[in-house]
Amino acid sequence: MNVFEVIKPTQDPKKENQVKKVNIAIFGHGLVGGTLINQILDSFEKIIKRRDIKLSVFAIANSKHIIFNKEGFDTNWRSDIETKGNHYTVFDVISYAKEHHLENLIAVDNTASSSFVENYIPLVENGFDLVSSNKIANTLSYSFYKEVRNVLEEKQKKYLYETNVGAGLPLIDTIKLLHLSGENITKIKGVFSGTLSYLFNNYSIQERSFSEILKEAIANGYTEPDPREDLCGNDVGRKLLVLARELDLQNEFDEINIENLIQEHLRGVTKEEFLNRLEELDEKYSTIKRNQKANHVLRYVGELSGDLQQDKGNLEVKLVSIPQNSALGQLQGSDSYFEIYTESYGDRPIVIQGAGAGSAVTARGVFGDILRLSDKG
């Protein structure tokens, strides 16, 4: 056989050279991270065909172990990390990328870790763009927030985090564009938590106890494993702070006025004990519901207000009673809802509403950020 007869390119070599390979390291492969990896694998061929971009996940890590493959992983990645995973630091990822001359690097943080965000600066300094569903980096001290952005500017790298607020809704991008265009944003208000949206949307109109609906939300996977992480209001507070900092406000997290929905005697018990004592929440919320005005419903609302042209704004997170026929009062399911008030639009806010929770929605939002970075020159 003539040796030249077996060399048959599967596609046009000229076309092959036009395909841009993007190398992705994914940290965190739980509900969001695992869904994201599968979305990337499922869309692999379509993205090559439609955008001339080859998305290659070269590293997958959890809090303890990592696996590498410079050619990218397939659908067996879960068993690979169980059987072939090794202990690591972020510098192992950086070294692997350098050793294999990987270009167009993106690090994706799908953890909820406060310690992992310390890796952002060394990743950027070593050639990685960043995508994150983890909102902690944007809500630590203002000095850290600025340090990350100074390094990004110095290294000419990008950091996208659309899913920090509103899962996959185009909220942060809208606020960024308005602010950069010189629009004076005067207030941002809304329901920031899909979990608490589900809880109060249902409790307000159903003749069931608060604990019963909370148990339903837990069973459906709407809450964190310890639902106090949702009920304490800190997650909503962080989301509000993310938006405040998009407006160049210098607020710190401890300056947010947050109403904790959990009675004090239940805050310090173990998770198991709290889950066994959910009925102790009922009397409080039954009283609140009963004492509302007629045709009113309960909503857990975040609001950014004040003179937003100054260094700091007023950030408040609280349970409110509002008319059922208002826009917020008509919210259903687990939707998030945001009103953006500006000088130009006056009393008629820009409204963004949609699915505010769920691993598939959040993963799709992270995927969108990856594609936006992949498209850059």
Catalytic residues: 239
Rounded CA separation 179/156 (Å): 21
Tokens standing for residue 99: 């050793």
Helix axes 282-290, 194-205, angle to 10 degrees: 60
DSSP state of 184: -
Over the range 192-207, which residues count as b (16 or more CB within 10 Å of their CB) and which as e?
bbbbbbbbbbbbbeee
For tokens 């009062």, the residue is 329
Q: How far apart are CA 47 and CA 151, in angstroms?
A: 30
Q: How far apart are CA 232 and CA 300, in angstroms?
A: 11
**CA 287 to the chain's CA centroid:** 34
Give the number of other Cβ atoms within 10 Å of residue 293's Cβ: 8
Pairing of strands 105-109, 128-132: parallel
Determine the distance from the C-alpha atom of residue 204 to the mean position of all C-alpha atoms in its chain, rounded to a whole number.
27
* Both tokens assigned to 139: 């809500």
Listed residue (18, 40, 21, 20) closest to 29, CA to CA: 40
- Structure tokens that stand for 56 in this block: 């290659």
Q: Hey, what are 23's tokens?
A: 């190398």
